[in-house]
Chain A
């Protein structure tokens, strides 16, 4: 069952990824990308990492894609339409893609040992009994309470900084 689900999701992911880069209209591209990202979230659920899956949906599909769409709305689509469909650097692209494919297949078929060598046992969440959302919540509000809170100071500084630099009349 899981295997079939995996291949179904993989098919969706690959299809929509190809559509994302081939679509002429950037808005369509963005919507295809949303579908591709949802498929990735599906993989996380399949791995029983439902927290990461939910974050994937919330952050990537919800937040980052809306940001993309806003930017696309602000640029002129007509100008993009006139551009050539295939970039002039396609030869470089093909070479890089082949190299990447070789590298990945080497890692997948031959490199299991080298991937795991030198890695430690997973540390924080070892229990499989509780849902991992619960486990993440527990460590986030106990051990990692301070980093969690301090991250808000970081975000505050970033927001204030962006406003200071971008505000029209100071």
Chain B
């Protein structure tokens, strides 16, 4: 340990740093596939970093590295001690540390995506960790899920309903899901995707691009 290191803790107001985008949702809904798709689509024009929160091992980080969508060193994995929702909502310290490590190592960055561990409908990101958040559902969990609500469904900045290609097989009514989601979300957007069929996730990528533009153009507060 040599004396006098750089002190790179960011100010809490977020100026001078990347947009932090949380991607949450239940196990198997397609969070990692969405993150991989966003990296593929936005990567060429965006300086990116990714933090994954795994329940076991570093499965999601390994998947993203193997997919080759991003330089492997720009992907950090956080372990969550049996509590994936704690690590993104109540005790965000390890995730903040990972985000800041990426920004310090590779910065300046435009976007850091934080993918949560698969959890339940109550899991949301702290606003101290994520500036924007996407909640990912899939139709095979049943078309009643949007009606059941929960903070992820009701408060996420974007709700993505994935695996629409499976809707006929599981008897899910996309119209019902859209109507129920609108009822609990007000004006907040909902996008239906089939990442397997449409890997470029154009609509979601466009939404993220709008958020990135708004983030980079937001007014700087005095002081």
Q: Do A and B come from one complex?
A: no
